[in-house]
Amino acid sequence: MRESFTQAEHAFKLGKEMTNSYAITFYEDLGVYRLLGELIGNEGLLDFFHDTVGKLIKYDESHNLKLVETLMAYFKHNENLKETSGSLFIHVNTLKYRIQKIASLTGYSLNDTEGKMMLYLGLKINELSR
């Protein structure tokens, strides 16, 4: 009973933070947010964010290259370059340039699993912190 209550409480808090509403959210549907939600307010989580997506946000603010938007679309379209470039209304070569820029700024390549995971988690932390 206690575990169910704790899960419901986490689902309520995280669902509210993610959607900015009081919509019904099931604990099982939170996915990676279940883990990240436990770390909210942790300095290590903030450091992780700044080492990944935080660098891209800062670069986007001064260069308007839309790297965060590009990265989100890239993962949304399951790393398919043609679909991603189509959704962003850019040429595939422009997308490839942006992907290279993401790697050079963060040090994480989208060509290896570790890099993908780091950047994906950085995006999730960004969504959670909005």
Task: Using a cut of 0.85, tell me whether the model's pTM lies above it.
Answer: no
Do 77 and 90 sit in the same domain of this protein?
A: yes
Residue with the two structure tokens 């790297």: 67
The CATH number covering residue 78 comes to: 1.10.10.2840
Do 21 and 78 sit in the same domain of this protein?
A: no
| Pairwise CA distance, residues 34 & 38, whole Å | 7
Domain count, the chain: 2
| Pairwise CA distance, residues 79 & 64, whole Å | 22
Q: Are 67 and 76 in contact (CB under 8 A)?
A: no
Q: Concatenate the DSSP letters of all residues of 13-57 into one string.
A: HHHHHHHSS-----GGGGTTHHHHHHTTT-HHHHHHHHHTHHHHH
Do 113 and 69 sit in the same domain of this protein?
A: yes
For 93, phi then psi, to 5°, come to -65, -35
Domain containing residue 91: 41-129
Do 1 and 53 sit in the same domain of this protein?
A: no
pLDDT tens string 57-74: 999 999 999 999 999 999
Hey, CA dihedral for 26, 32, 33, 38, is it positive or negative?
A: positive
Do 67 and 108 sit in the same domain of this protein?
A: yes
Do 94 and 31 sit in the same domain of this protein?
A: no
Average pLDDT over residues 36-61: 83
**Residue at 25: amino acid letter:** T
Do 51 and 113 sit in the same domain of this protein?
A: yes
Do 24 and 85 sit in the same domain of this protein?
A: no
Do 26 and 48 sit in the same domain of this protein?
A: no
- Higher pLDDT among residues 120 and 48, named by residue: 120
Residue 107 confidence (pLDDT)? 96
